[in-house]
C-alpha cells in the first residue's frame, strides 16, 4: 500500500489543506490532553518550513451536525499556537464566504484552523458539495488523521476527489508503514496478543491474524467464551453467547494450523470488580460459581512472556485483564513489559489504539514501544485486514 506522502510534494506557496484528528478532551474550555495535537506538529511544521500555507481541518466530539459551542475548536487553536510557537488564525466556520475570503488573501507564513467539521451534517454524510467547498480552499491535501481513516466522511474521502495532490502526512505515513511492516512482511517469529472484554469486537482480528502469526495469545474477558466452548465452568465471568459458534470455528481453524492459539491456563478471580474485591488464582478449569475472571494468572503470564521474548515482531490489541484496577493489572503489565523488551532487543512491538494504548500509558511504557497507534477503531480495522477509506482515497505512488 504505497501512498503519496508529504515528502513527495512541492509545498512552496501552496495552500495546503491538512486533515488532522484534534478530537481532544476539553475541560473548562481548555485542552486537557494535547497528545493528538503534538503528534501532528511535524506535518504542520513541514508545510510552514517549505513555504506553504496550512489550512487545518478537524472534527471534535459528536455534535450531530449542529453547532455546539462546547465543541468548538477555538481552545484547540490557542493550544496549537503555543505548541507551534507560530500564530494560528481561528475561523469560526469551515466553509462559506468568511472562510474563502480569509484563505483567499493568505500569504506564506499564515496558518489557519477552521471550525469543527461535524457542525455540518454533510461531513458524516460525505456530501459532495460540502467536500467540494472544503477542497476549494486549497490546491494540496494532506491527511494526517489516522484515527478517522476508517470513516468515509467528506473530509476524508470527498476532498481527494477534487484535489489530485492528496498525500499522507507524517503521522498517517508512520501508521501505514508500521501496520504494513507487521501484517505484510513481519520479522519472524511473529506473535500477536489479543485481549479485551468482548470476543465479538475481535473476531475479525483473530481470523485475519491466524493466517499471519506464528502464535496468537489470548487474554481478557473474551477468553471465557472460548472456555465455554470447551465446556469449562466460568462462574460469573463475562462471555458472549452469540459468538460461541464462531469461537468454536476459530479453535478448529487454530488446530488445523498447528495449534497457533494459546489460551490462559490459570486466571485471577474475584467476587466483585473493585479495589475491595477478593483476589485469588485458580486453574482455568477451576473457576467457582459466582466468581469472576479478571486477569490472566502468573503461570499464563510466564508462558506469554516467554513466547513474546522469542519473537521478533509482536502486536498487542487489548488488555489481558481489568488493568484499571491495580489488583487485576499484573498480567497486562507483565506482557507489555515483555513487549518493551522486544523493542530493546531490536525487534518490533506495535500496540493498537484505544484501550491498548491506554494500558501502555497506564504503566508508563509508551516510550519503550516501537509504535503505538493513534486510532482505536482504525487500527482495529487495519488489523482485521480491511481497506480504510481515508487511506484508499489518497493518491498511489
Q: Matching CATH topology for 6-174 and 186-383?
A: yes
pLDDT at res. 277 = 84
Whose cell is 503489565? That residue is 333
Going from N- to C-terminal start, the domains of the chain cover 6-174, 186-383
pLDDT at 380: 87
Angstrom distance (rounded) from CA 107 to CA 104: 9
Query: In the 8-state DSSP scheme, what is residue 353?
Result: S
313: pLDDT strictly greater than 90 = yes
What's the average model confidence in pLDDT over 293-309? 97
Question: 61, 277, 377, 385: which is the annotated catalytic residue?
Answer: 377
Q: Domain 6-174 belongs to what topology?
A: Rossmann fold (3.40.50)
- Catalytic residue, from 3, 36, 118, 228: name it: 36
- Report the DSSP beta bridge partners of residue 17: 55, 141
Burial class (CB in 10 A: 0-12, 13-18, 19+), 248: middle
User: Is the distance from CB of 43 to CB of 82 less than 8 angstroms?
Assistant: no
Nearest 5°: phi and psi at 117? -60, -35
Q: Does the model's pTM come out above 0.85?
A: yes
pLDDT at 1 over 80: no
Angle between helices 298-310 and 330-344 (to 10 degrees): 20
Verify whether residue 377 is a known catalytic residue: yes
For the domain spanning 186-383, the CATH number is 3.40.50.1260
Check whether 226 has a pLDDT greater than 80: yes
**DSSP at 195:** -
Residue 74 bears catalytic tag: no
Q: Is the pLDDT of residue 115 over 90?
A: yes
Residue 212 in this model has a pLDDT that exceeds 90: yes
- Per the residue annotation, which of 78, 161, 181, 198 is the catalytic one? 198
User: What integer is the mean pLDDT of 63-82?
Assistant: 96
For 126-171, write each residue's pLDDT tens digit.
Answer: 999 999 999 999 999 999 999 999 999 999 999 999 999 999 999 9
Q: How many angstroms separate the CA atoms of 21 and 24, rounded?
A: 8
Quick one: pLDDT at residue 270? 94
Question: CA-CA distance, 31 to 287, in Å (whole number)?
Answer: 45
Q: Which of 293, 318, 354, 390 is catalytic?
A: 354
Amino acid at each position: 500500500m504505497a501512498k503519496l506522502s508529504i515528502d513527495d510534494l512541492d509545498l512552496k506557496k501552496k495552500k495546503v489543506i491538512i486533515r488532522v484528528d484534534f478530537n481532544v478532551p476539553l475541560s473548562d474550555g481548555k485542552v486537557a490532553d494535547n497528545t493528538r495535537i503534538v503528534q501532528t506538529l511535524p506535518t504542520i511544521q513541514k508545510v510552514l518550513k517549505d513555504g506553504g500555507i496550512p489550512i487545518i481541518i478537524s472534527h471534535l466530539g459528536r455534535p450531530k451536525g449542529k453547532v455546539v459551542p462546547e465543541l468548538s475548536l477555538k481552545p484547540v487553536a490557542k493550544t496549537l499556537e503555543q505548541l507551534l510557537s507560530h500564530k494560528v488564525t481561528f475561523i469560526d466556520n469551515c466553509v462559506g464566504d468568511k472562510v474563502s475570503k480569509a484563505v483567499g488573501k493568505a500569504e506564506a507564513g499564515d496558518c489557519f484552523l477552521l471550525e469543527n467539521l461535524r457542525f455540518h451534517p454533510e461531513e458524516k454524510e460525505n456530501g459532495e458539495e460540502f467536500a467540494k467547498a472544503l477542497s476549494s480552499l486549497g490546491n494540496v491535501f494532506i491527511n494526517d488523521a489516522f484515527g478517522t481513516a476508517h470513516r468515509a466522511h467528506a473530509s476524508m474521502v470527498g476532498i481527494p476527489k477534487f484535489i489530485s495532490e492528496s498525500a499522507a502526512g507524517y503521522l498517517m505515513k508512520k501508521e501505514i508503514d508500521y501496520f504494513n511492516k507487521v501484517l505484510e512482511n513481519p520479522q519472524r517469529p511473529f506473535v500477536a496478543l489479543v485481549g479485551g472484554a468482548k470476543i465479538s469486537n475481535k473476531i475479525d482480528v483473530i481470523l485475519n491474524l491466524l493466517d499471519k502469526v506464528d502464535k496468537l495469545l489470548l487474554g481478557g474477558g473474551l477468553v471465557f467464551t472460548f472456555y465455554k466452548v470447551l465446556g469449562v465452568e466460568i462462574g460469573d465471568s463475562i462471555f458472549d453467547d452469540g459468538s460461541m459458534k464462531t469461537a468454536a470455528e476459530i479453535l478448529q481453524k487454530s488446530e488445523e494450523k498447528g495449534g497457533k492459539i494459546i489460551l490462559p491456563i490459570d486466571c485471577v478471580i474475584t467476587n466483585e470488580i473493585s479495589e475491595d474485591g477478593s483476589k485469588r488464582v485458580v486453574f482455568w478449569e477451576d473457576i467457582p460459581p459466582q466468581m469472576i475472571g479478571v486477569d490472566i494468572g502468573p503461570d499464563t503470564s510466564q508462558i506469554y512472556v516467554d513466547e513474546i521474548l522469542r519473537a521478533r515482531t509482536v502486536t498487542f490489541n487489548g488488555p489481558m485483564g481489568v488493568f484499571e484496577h491495580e489488583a487485576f493489572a499484573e498480567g497486562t503489565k507483565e506482557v507489555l513489559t515483555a513487549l518493551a523488551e522486544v523493542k530493546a532487543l531490536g525487534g518490533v512491538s506495535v500496540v493498537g489504539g484505544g484501550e491498548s494504548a491506554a494500558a501502555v500509558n497506564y504503566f508508563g511504557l509508551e516510550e519503550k514501544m516501537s509504535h503505538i497507534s493513534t486510532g482505536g477503531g482504525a487500527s482495529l480495522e487495519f488489523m482485521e485486514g480491511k481497506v480504510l477509506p481515508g487511506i484508499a482515497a489518497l493518491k498511489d505512488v
